[in-house]
Amino acid sequence: MSMTKLEQARHYEAIHGAGITPGERPLFHLTPLVGWMNDPNGFSLYRGEYHLFYQYYPYETKWGPMHWGHAKSQDLLHWEWLPAALAPEDAYDNAGCFSGSAIELEDGRQMLLYTGVQQFPTEDGGVGHRQVQCVAYGDGVDYQKYEGNPVITARQLPEGGSSVDFRDPKVWKEDDGWYAVVGNRASDGSGAVLLFRSEDTVHWDYAATLEECRNEYGRMWECPDFFPLDGRYIVIASPQEMQARGLEFHNGNSTLYSLGDYERKTRRFRRAQVRSLDYGLDFYAPQTTLTPDGRRVLIGWMQSWESCGSQPVGAKWFGMMTVPRELSVRDGQLIQTPIRELDGYRVAPVHYSAVKLQNRVQLPGVEGRTIDLTVRFRAGEPGGCRRFAIRIAADERFATVITYFPTKHILRIDRRHSGFPYDVVHIRDMEVRRQGEALKLRILLDRFSAEIFVNDGEQVLSSTLYTPQSARGVSFEAEGSALIDVEKFDLAL
């Protein structure tokens, strides 16, 4: 008997996933079991464990017909792979099971709500595509697609909404039913976040348009999320074809958050502020969930679509998730910090205080590729430091360089010498929001990435690196006079 596509994927990943040793992967960032990963999907709690699915093509390290890969975790840092959950093999998702979300139902089942991409022959002999929303139900391992799929189609769209760009449903439950936000392209060609409601998870009605791009922030908006946070509301979206604005956004695929207020009765969201969610080189399509103790936690795809072609030679997996981040609102801005569970895995502390920088300084004990490093910088005297730099993952040949220009408040990441085979975009500058010459950076290094949390999470820069693991050095340097405090832990998970 021939295997279904899902059986084929499960068979393939079991064999080839086992061929990748733990040392070839990050220590605590989730990678695909084998092959390709993009967006986080279905990030949710089910039967007391965190589940994280992902856009998945097991057979190659490049994007292909989308499956859903699957992993679960107790602490959001140790992940256990489960067999692939969905494969593109039904009439309504024959060209891909695109991004979506998951939720635990009262009857004990887990529901997946995802986008089916349907390919069909057109009247003129060509090929057409449309996107519809579908559900599947399961027990945390095996899922059955609903026989009545699709559950949301173009028929439920407001006038002018695109049936081609209509994807990435994010579901949650309220007292009066299930809600989902879905990304769509409106009649002006630009993105919109639509709100749908259902009383039974299979009949859905359009309820409102929550946020609209109006061609101001890119074009199509992918992977929306929407949630209350510390008395305000946040819409997250990942626009395509974004145009840079100063240093706030960058060209291409970008992720923004819109912070504002929401009136539930009228279903109106009023935006107060739109900002970048991450200023690094690799971040897209994040998704959030709530922990049992009420924390809103976000995970993103730590990759950019633009640089997917620049993979390490011989890669067996490609694409990884960011560290999970706790979200909060402070002084009207979104704050992101690494989940506190990570603190439990910090060992071998090394401290230095008020180190005066002259030329390049290496501090004994401060090195490594799986470390949690906090650096507090201040100028020796006001205006007295023109440039301060930290070199990480460094040896004679390689280094990823984080540079701060204190009088300009600019922070730069430069990974030109970080092991990439091709010259894609490797430098990015960010304006540090908190004005003042002092700066605090918490840098998480995990073999193939660096995540930089600036000034207690006011801004974040996430970037992948493929520097050989033997490049473990860390050094500090300043032009002018500077003082630093350093706190470094090894991460042992």
Q: Give the residue with the Cβ less far from ligand FRU, 168 or 458.
A: 168
Q: Give the residue with the Cβ less far from ligand FRU, 111 or 285.
A: 285
# residues contacting ligand FRU (CB under 6 A) = 13
Q: Give the residue with the Cβ less far from ligand FRU, 27 or 103.
A: 103
Taking the complex as a whole, the smallest distance from the CB of residue 117 to ligand FRU amounts, in Å, to 8
Beta pairing partners, 180: 171, 196
* Subset of residues 115 to 134 that bind ligand FRU, contact rule: CB under 6 A: 115
- 255 Cβ partners below 8 Å, 6+ apart? 236, 237, 238, 239, 276, 277, 278, 283, 284, 285, 286, 300
Pick the binder of ligand FRU from 36, 284, 317, 448 (CB under 6 A).
284
* Subset of residues 94 to 113 that bind ligand FRU, contact rule: CB under 6 A: 98-99
Pick the binder of ligand FRU from 93, 212, 222, 458 (CB under 6 A).
222
Where b means 16+ CB within 10 Å and e means fewer, 404-413 reads bbbeebebbb
**Known catalytic membership, residue 39:** yes
**Do 262 and 268 meet the contact criterion of CB atoms below 8 Å apart?**
yes
* Subset of residues 140 to 179 that bind ligand FRU, contact rule: CB under 6 A: 167-168
Taking the complex as a whole, the smallest distance from the CB of residue 41 to ligand FRU amounts, in Å, to 8
Pick the binder of ligand FRU from 13, 25, 26, 39 (CB under 6 A).
39
User: Residue with structure tokens 């504002």?
Assistant: 260
Q: Give the residue with the Cβ less far from ligand FRU, 180 or 375.
A: 180
User: Residue with structure tokens 């639509």?
Assistant: 194
- 112 Cβ partners below 8 Å, 6+ apart? 42, 53, 68, 85, 86, 100, 101, 102, 135, 136, 137, 138, 143
Taking the complex as a whole, the smallest distance from the CB of residue 179 to ligand FRU amounts, in Å, to 19
**Do 252 and 219 meet the contact criterion of CB atoms below 8 Å apart?**
no
Q: Give the residue with the Cβ less far from ligand FRU, 56 or 388.
A: 56
Taking the complex as a whole, the smallest distance from the CB of residue 202 to ligand FRU amounts, in Å, to 21
Q: Write the single-letter amino acid at 225.
A: D
**Do 225 and 287 meet the contact criterion of CB atoms below 8 Å apart?**
yes
Closest Cα partner for 39 from 221, 222, 185, 165? Answer: 222
Closest Cα partner for 140 from 13, 67, 47? Answer: 47
Taking the complex as a whole, the smallest distance from the CB of residue 321 to ligand FRU amounts, in Å, to 13
Beta pairing partners, 206: 196
Closest Cα partner for 112 from 46, 37, 204, 34? Answer: 46
Name the residue with the smallest CB distance to ligand FRU: 98
Is residue 38 within the footprint of ligand FRU (CB under 6 A)?
Answer: yes
3-class DSSP state for residue 11? helix
Distance CA 389, CA 463 (A): 17
Q: Give the residue with the Cβ less far from ligand FRU, 44 or 115.
A: 115
* Subset of residues 375 to 404 that bind ligand FRU, contact rule: CB under 6 A: none
Taking the complex as a whole, the smallest distance from the CB of residue 133 to ligand FRU amounts, in Å, to 11
Pick the binder of ligand FRU from 30, 66, 450, 461 (CB under 6 A).
66
Among residues 39, 278, 282, 372, which one is catalytic? 39
Is residue 285 within the footprint of ligand FRU (CB under 6 A)?
Answer: yes
Taking the complex as a whole, the smallest distance from the CB of residue 1 to ligand FRU amounts, in Å, to 30
10 membership: H or E segment, kind and range: helix 5-17
Catalytic residues: 39
**Contact residues for ligand FRU (CB under 6 A)?**
38-39, 55, 66, 98-99, 115, 167-168, 222-223, 284-285
